[in-house]
Structure 1
Amino acid sequence: MQVVDPHVHFWDLDTHHYPWLANQGTSFVGDARDLKHNYLPDDLLREAGDIEVLKVVHVEANHDPADPVEETRWLESIADAGKGLPNAIVAAADLSAPNASEILAAHAAFDRTRGIRQILNVHANPLYDYVGRHYMREPAWRKHFALLEQHGLSFDLQLYPAQMEEAAALARAHPGVSLIVNHAGMFVDRNGVQGWRDWRDGLRVLAACPNVSVKISGLAMFDHEWTVESLRPYVLETIDAFGASRAMFASNFPVDRQFGGYAELWRAYAAIIGDASESERTALFRSNAERIYRI
């Protein structure tokens, strides 16, 4: 099976600082102590086994926020020195910061930079709350978000269903910016019917914006004992919302490695869409990621 993986993380703990790994602990996404080791392109390729990984997109790995551009600089260096991986970089930037415009320009100067991610997840339950503030409502943040189009950068959109209406308004206000929903919209509130409806309907509100696409990834963060059947409704619902032309499978490795193997995950995706057409399979496994991330 050939894949283009549009959501991976690499880190080198010997040379760089990642606060969440330096002060690791247990959260809803698992035990970060299991991730406190270097993870580099050769590690991913070794784990892939019989899955042929053609290209990968690196998404910022919560590197030292004091120097976000250093992560991009390092990733460019390992790609140049090795097998060309990662092929594209989604870099980190705090769009609320006074120096955001300078950070964006610095990232954009690197050949492989394609976009920016700033995690936006806000939740009333502290267990699930990432950032504790509604960035999309802040004037400075929105002002700097508008600069993405000027630099030709996309935005990886990591948020919860309750934030999807607001994100759709952002997408409509900036039709020239490509937004990519991370982790199938992170369906977090799973204890009742309303949580499902919020996620399902939120996906469709976002999908109504032609400049929004989605990555089907990170499902194991909320389903640690996942099976093909437990993933099936989330995969199919996401594809139904966005269509096969604006959805793409991704691994979220090594984070999701805590809950299953790399090849096992990709084979699960293949089993779930086993009756899809060849063109749909090509789009979901490879060509959408290549087009959206321009690789």
Structure 2
Amino acid sequence: MLSRRGFVTIPFVDAHIHLWELGRIRYPWLTPPFAEDGPNGSVEAIARDYTLADYRADMARWNVVGAVHIDAGADPAQALDETEWLEGVADAGGLPSAIVAFARLDDPDVEALLAQQAAHPRVRGIRHIVNWHADPLRSYTPRDVTQDAQWGAGFALLAKYGLSFDLQCYPAQMAGLAPLIARHPDVPVIINHLGMPVISDPDGIAQWRAGLETLAALPHVAIKLSGLGFIDRDWTLDSVRPFLLAAIDLFGTDRCLFASDSPTDTLFASIERTMAAFHAIAADFSDDEQRDLFARNANRLYRLGLDL
């Protein structure tokens, strides 16, 4: 849906963005030295302030009517500082519409932090990145915390505070997570970045599909269509199309959310190319389905209250 000037008119609730001011809050992953051998390669290109003004400028062509800020990897000791800063940004600039904050679910004292996070008006959920892989260069964590009883206890507390959970894991962890998620239907779960298939693993694609099938069987689980560069740093529309369509097929157009992952995904492609890919994929769906994928699902799942 294009205007005469190329402005995309369909409403977009961006389900996954990051903002940061590096002089205000410490982000260990955005702090030198940088190396190519991490899970994302070098992040030096985005290790600079990224403000709401920068985001609005990058998204000027797209009809952004809402955005959800996801925990941006701040120093855990500054988790509340990040939330408080974002509340101020939103008060002054109208975005983000909602916040998914950080808490370490395996911390025995996590409940105090959950209560403090949930007290902020825009906080809707929690993210604790749990990507573990046998290859230490792919792993975000030294061990798979999702199988710890303490982590499960932290997850169970989310419902008490009305919080959803943004799940960033690898496919090999999904079957192990499914029983815990199934036991807590009152904790909505939103899978990040298409479930992050590891296509270099011998059975990586099959493992990804099997993992998503297991989680898609749970009606309170949804998935973000984002993070294309995590599949393939040199992705093309043709290379990612099967993954996007498979996710939509498994979860349906009512449980999938397009998201820019700005600015992280600019490590791999421009926002223009990412958004153009999403619109190309969505073109074969009905107008109603497109509105769900681009805005209404995020509005519902993150309880934004927008009139869409």
TM-score surpassing 0.5?
yes
Deviation at 1:69, TM superposition (A): 1.0
Decide whether aligned partners of structure 1 residues 129 and 267 sit closer, same or farther in structure 2, where only a CA change above 3 A counts.
same
Q: Does 1:182 align with 2:195?
A: no
Correspondences of 1:273-284 after superposition (within 5 Å): 273-284=282-293
CA contact (8 A) 2:39 2:139 kept: no
- Are residues 1:146 and 2:162 paired? no
Q: Which secondary structure does the structure 1 equivalent of 2:244 belong to?
A: helix
* Counterpart residue number, 1:267: 276
Identify if the C-alpha distance between structure 1 residues 222 and 5 changes in structure 2 by more than 3 Å, giving closer, same or farther: same
Structure 1 counterpart SS, 2:77: coil
Q: The residue matched to 1:89 in structure 2 has which SS?
A: strand
Say if 2:171 and 2:211, in contact at 8 Å, map to a contact too: yes
One of 55, 65, 89 as aligned partner of 2:66? 55
Say yes or no: does 1:121 pair with 2:131: yes
Name the CA distance, whole Å, in 1 between partners of 2:124 and 2:193.
18
1:76 to 87, 110, 119: 87
TM-score, length of structure 2 as denominator length: 0.92
Aligned with residue 27 of structure 2, among 18, 29, 54: 18
- 8 A contact 1:24–1:32 mirrored in 2: no
What is the alpha-carbon distance in structure 2 between the residues aligned to residue 228 and residue 69 of structure 1? 38
TM-aligned CA deviation for residue 62 of structure 1:
0.7
Instruction: Name 1:100's counterpart in structure 2.
Output: 110
Give the structure 1 partner of residue 76 of structure 2.
65
Cα displacement (A) at 1:222: 3.0
1:154 and 1:177 in contact (8 A); partners too: yes
Tell which deviates more after alignment, 61-70 or 282-291. Answer: 61-70
Aligned to 1:91: 101
Letter of the 1:50 counterpart: R
Q: Does the aligned pair in 1 maintain the 2:106–2:151 contact within 8 Å?
A: yes
Amino acid across the alignment from 1:231: V
Write out aligned runs for 1:141-290 (5 A): 141-192=151-202, 194-290=203-299
Structure 1 pair 76/36, CA: closer, same or farther in 2 (3 Å)? same
Q: How many Å apart are 1:221 and its aligned residue?
A: 2.4
Structure 1, 21-30 or 111-120: larger mean CA deviation: 21-30
The CA deviation at 1:191 is 5.0
C-alpha separation in 1, matches of 2:297 and 2:286: 15
Secondary structure of the residue that 2:104 maps to in structure 1? coil
* Corresponding residue of 1:110: 120
Shift of residue 190, structure 1, vs aligned partner = 3.1
TM-score, normalised with respect to structure 1: 0.96
Q: Which SS does the other structure have where 2:95 is aligned? A: coil
Counterpart CA distance in 2 for 1:33 and 1:78 is 24
Compute the displacement of 1:189 (Å): 3.4
What is the CA deviation profile of residues 4-54 of structure 1, one whole-angstrom value per residue up to 9, with x for unaligned ones? 101011100121111111235232423211111100111011011311211
Q: Counterpart of 1:31 in structure 2: which amino acid?
A: S
Any conservation in 1 of the 2:199–2:231 contact (CA below 8 Å)? no
After superposition, the Cα gap between the structure-2 partners of 1:30 and 1:222, relative to the gap in structure 1 and judged at 3 Å, is farther
- Unpaired runs of at least 5, structure 1: none
Tell me how far apart the structure 2 counterparts of residues 246 and 111 of structure 1 sit (CA, whole Å): 24
**Structure 1 counterpart of 2:168, which letter?**
Q
Residues 32-90 of structure 1, C-alpha deviations (whole Å, 9 max, x = no match): 111111001110110113112111100001111112111101100111122x1111000
Aligned 8 A contact 1:206 1:212 in 2: yes
Moved runs in structure 1, 4+ residues, more than 4 A?
A: none
Aligned length: 293
State how far apart, in whole Å, the 2-side matches of 1:258 and 1:134 are: 26
CA distance in 2, matches of 1:190, 1:283: 32
1:29 and 1:222 in contact (8 A); partners too: no
Q: Percent identity?
A: 44
Which deviates more, 168-177 or 28-37?
28-37
Write the distance in 1 (CA, Å) between the matches of 2:154 and 2:269. Answer: 38
Q: Report the CA distance shift for 1:22/1:277 in structure 2 as closer, same or farther (over 3 A).
A: same
